[in-house]
Structure 1
Amino acid sequence: MAIVFRELPWYAQALVYLLLLVAIVAVGEFAPVPYVSVQPIRQQLESAKADAKAMQDEVARLRDYERRHAQFRTEMEALERQLATLQAIVPEEKEVDDFIRILQGAAAASNVAIRRLEAKALVPKEYYNEAPFEVEMDGPYFAVLDFFTRLGRIPRIINVGDLSFKGIDETRGKKYPLRPGTTVTGSVVATTFFTKGAEPPPPVPQPGKQPAKQPAKR
């Protein structure tokens, strides 16, 4: 005949609860439970956090470097454009052929004839050199004015001085024929500039002084 637990006396129910508690404690005490230490896992977690922080710092540094590199590249491009502009205004080399083409192009566009072009001695300055050219030309008066105007619009610096012009009535007997419409003829000194250092001139010996002897070559 089945016995209902609730129908047992209270002291019997208490005894059953006590026996169950003892059984549970015994199982927990004697059953093989694997021991797991949390210290290594904690150390691995801290190491992973440190690595993640280092990687974040490296990414931030690389992003800053990328930003500064882009800024530096922009500044370099601006300086290169500025240098190209300055070299067009005052070239590094003398560039005589290019200078002659500039003069001939401006003269042809203005209907002015260049009869003679003679290079003069260089004039070295502290930071640049002057390269003067004597230019003999003729043409209509307003065409000559237009020629000078065109030279003033060219990026390369060209100074024009020592102007000497006369009417064609004062220049009879020229060895070349003048074109129709020519009213003036004369010469100017057109000076261009370049930055490359010229060879220093040899020293001029002083009167009464012997030039210094060069050491004998071995």
Structure 2
Amino acid sequence: MNIVDLLLRQKPAIKILALVLILGAILGVYWQFFYRPVVAEIRVIEPELNKLKAELSAKRDIVKEKPRYEAELEETRAKLHLALKQLPNKSEIPTLLENISALGNASGLQFKLFKPRGEVPKNFYAEIPVDIQIEGRYRDIITFFESVSKMPRIVNITNINMQNKQQKDTVQPALLATSCNAVTYKFLENAESTKADNTKAKGK
């Protein structure tokens, strides 16, 4: 007689109890060997899955914002191009210095000193300071400074010092002896920029 026949001969209460025990055993085996390992694996994988979801969401946002980023990049390039146009290259520096001197002469000033100093390398450009000493009327000096500020290339006038010049002829308008620095800027070519970076690195 097998177990099934034996159970069929039992009272209903015993049959129900046996059925409950069999189902419990099946559920226990399922929990132990199937459900619990899967749950444990899910708990391990879930943080990584959430991380991947977050990365995917971020990349989707980047893709959606790509046109805006490209527009901003193009605008930045245009601004950089415009800024670089205001920085003369090496071959344009002599002409630029001649133009500054010509503006002073056109303003009625007398140059006592016009002396370019050594370049001061920065990142992609170099400063070119020029020591200037001029004599002339106040309004002519101001006209000269304004003319320099309106040049297409960037030229800054700094360290201005004005003093009255003693004159024998008091009928003539008062003249001022003025010293200042005119600082212009030169765009460094790739080789020059690399050399400047190496020089700065050695100085550290």
Normalised to the residue count of structure 1, the TM-score between the two structures is 0.46
Normalised to the residue count of structure 2, the TM-score between the two structures is 0.49
Structure with larger Rg: 1
